[in-house]
């Protein structure tokens, strides 16, 4: 067959642009029908109600609903609404998981068996989040769970209760529990980042008599800035998209009094649990959530791309560069 060059001639009969287009066609079809069109349809749905254009009515319904924002709840605690819960989650979970991972990454630099310790902490990251939620429930329920009993043994009787059935303990318990599951992410990224910093920098600083804290402040932290930006970007996206964890630990209602309800779960409830389904409100919640994740992503992308230029000349990086010049 091949001897007379038939195969080649057959091949040449396809014009090159057509062959090249074939590389894109499967991806375009999949993305178009299963990602892009559904996104546009959801946006569309969010401005309609029963076939009639209603402008931003669905959005004002959702935003004015105490299920989304419940500012009157502030003096007494959760439920404060899904949007507020996502923000509280971010405010607590982001710094806790980021700095715990960073601390461990720096500490593990000079520990034997570091890769085993990293794996122990990383197990949470490969756990399906729905099971992460189930495990947290197992941890916080009384009398079966460890956390209430541990607080009881330490003498904190007010925390020796079933955390899952009290609004405040439920929300904050799940937030702290999610730190346990997610810390492996910043640990692994920071560990990888630390290996890219030349050892000479640390040695030169040590010879100069710099304290460990000063070395961290002036060398490690500034040089890890690109990693920090990635960790912050991805962690906030994870916090905004929280879904399985809350469902696994509670139910489709976000737990007792919806104390741990989040935006993604609210959308699921409106679109797939409520009878009759509140499809248009579900679309509005989804669009709102997507607006948040997209705004955040675009902002951080610009930061990451422009970051190098802005940080130049900043005080924090000066020592590192001086050392770099010497090394």
Partner 1 sequence: MRRPTAAQLVARLRRIRVRPSALLAHGVAWGIGLAWLIPFLGLAMAAIRPIGEILFGWWDFQSFHPTLANFAIAWDHDSYPMSEGLRNSFLVAIPSTLIPILVGAMVGYGFARFRFPLRDYIFVSVVVLMAIPQQMVAVPLFRTMLAAGLVDTFQGLILVHSAWGIPWILLFMRNFFQTLPAEVEEAARVDGAGDFKIFVKIVMPMALPAFAAIAVLQFMWVWNDFFFAQILMYSQDQLLATQRVTRLAGQFYSPWDLMSAASIIVLIVPVALYAFLQRYYIRGMIGWTIKG
CB of 74 to partner 1, least distance (A): 26
Which lies closer to partner 1 via its Cβ, residue 130 or residue 159?
130
CB of 160 to partner 1, least distance (A): 12
Which lies closer to partner 1 via its Cβ, residue 182 or residue 201?
182
Strand partners, 49: 52
Which lies closer to partner 1 via its Cβ, residue 170 or residue 264?
264
CB of 293 to partner 1, least distance (A): 5
Please check whether residue 171 is in contact with residue 260, taking contact to mean a CB–CB distance below 8 angstroms.
yes
Torsions phi, psi for 197 (to 5 deg):
-85, 120
Helices (H), 141-259: 146-153, 167-195, 199-207, 212-215, 221-223, 225-241, 244-249
Torsions phi, psi for 213 (to 5 deg):
-65, -40
In angstroms, the CA 241 to CA 68 distance is 15
CB of 31 to partner 1, least distance (A): 6
Which lies closer to partner 1 via its Cβ, residue 53 or residue 75?
53
Inter-axis angle of helices 167-195 and 114-126, nearest 10: 130
Q: List C-alpha distances in Å: 129 to 68, 181, 285.
A: 23, 9, 22
In angstroms, the CA 208 to CA 234 distance is 37
CB of 35 to partner 1, least distance (A): 5
CB of 77 to partner 1, least distance (A): 25
Question: What's the DSSP call for residue 256?
Answer: G
Please list, in sequence order, all residues whose beta carbon lies within 8 angstroms of the beta carbon of residue 163, skipping any fewer than 6 positions away: 140, 141, 142, 145, 147, 148, 169, 170, 173
CB of 157 to partner 1, least distance (A): 17
């Amino acid at each position: 067959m091949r001897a007379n060059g038939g195969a080649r001639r057959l091949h040449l009969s396809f014009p090159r642009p057509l062959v090249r287009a074939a590389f894109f066609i499967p991806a375009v079809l999949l993305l178009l029908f299963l990602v892009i069109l559904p996104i546009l349809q959801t946006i569309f749905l969010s401005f309609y109600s029963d076939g009639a254009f209603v402008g931003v009515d669905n959005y004002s319904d959702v935003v004015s609903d105490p299920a989304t924002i419940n500012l009157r709840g502030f003096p007494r605690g959760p439920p404060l609404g899904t949007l507020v819960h996502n923000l509280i989650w971010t405010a607590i979970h982001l710094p806790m998981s980021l700095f715990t991972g960073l601390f461990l990454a720096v500490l593990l630099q000079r520990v034997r068996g570091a890769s085993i310790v990293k794996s122990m902490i990383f197990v949470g990251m490969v756990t399906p989040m729905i099971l992460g939620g189930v495990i947290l429930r197992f941890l916080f329920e009384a009398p079966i769970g460890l956390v209430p009993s541990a607080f009881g043994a330490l003498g904190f009787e007010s925390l020796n209760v079933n955390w899952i059935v009290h609004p405040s303990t439920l929300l904050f318990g799940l937030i702290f529990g999610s730190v346990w599951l997610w810390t492996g992410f910043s640990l692994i990224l920071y560990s990888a980042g630390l290996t890219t910093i030349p050892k000479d920098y640390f040695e030169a600083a040590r010879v100069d008599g710099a304290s460990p804290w000063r070395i961290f402040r002036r060398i490690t932290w500034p040089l890890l800035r690109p990693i920090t930006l990635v960790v912050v970007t991805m962690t906030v996206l994870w916090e905004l998209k929280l879904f399985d964890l809350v469902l696994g630990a509670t139910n489709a209602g976000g737990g007792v009094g919806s104390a741990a309800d989040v935006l993604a779960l609210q959308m699921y409830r409106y679109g797939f649990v409520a009878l009759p389904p509140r499809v248009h409100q579900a679309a509005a919640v989804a669009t709102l959530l997507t607006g948040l994740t997209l705004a955040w992503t675009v902002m951080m992308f610009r930061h990451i791309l422009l970051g190098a230029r802005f940080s130049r000349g900043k005080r924090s990086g000066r020592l590192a560069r001086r050392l770099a010049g010497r090394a």
